[in-house]
Amino acid sequence: MKYFVVKFLTRSGCHLCDEARPLVKREVIRRGGSLVEVDIDTDDVLTRDFGLRVPVLLGPGDVVLAEGVIEAGSLRRALRRMRRA
């Protein structure tokens, strides 16, 4: 898989989202992908499905790559696994 898109599910006022954003953006772009940020409060289905779980990173096929407190090492491993799949 060469090019990929990761969805970054967030919501306004989420401090974990604010903390994770620069790391997530840097690591996804570094690996040749792009990041699409989605506010779950604009979509009833996303709000229902992810509620308090934000931030959540969804890879291709909407596979959950990471959620909650997102740390650099675990994010890098998840992105490497995704790229190999």
pTM above 0.75, yes or no: yes
Residue 83 confidence (pLDDT) above 90: no
What are 12-69's pLDDT values in tens digits? Answer: 999 999 999 999 999 999 999 999 999 999 999 999 999 999 999 999 999 999 999 9
Q: Would you call the peptide bond into 55 cis, given omega within 30 degrees of 0 as the criterion? A: yes
* CATH number (domain holding residue 49): 3.40.30.10
Split into its structural domains, the chain has a count of: 1
pLDDT at 1: 52
Domain that holds residue 26: 5-84
Of the pLDDT bands very low, low, confident and very high (cuts 50, 70, 90), residue 5 is very high
Helix extents (H) in 13-68: 15-30, 44-50
Cα–Cα distance between 37 and 57 in angstroms, integer? 9
Residue 78 confidence (pLDDT) above 60: yes
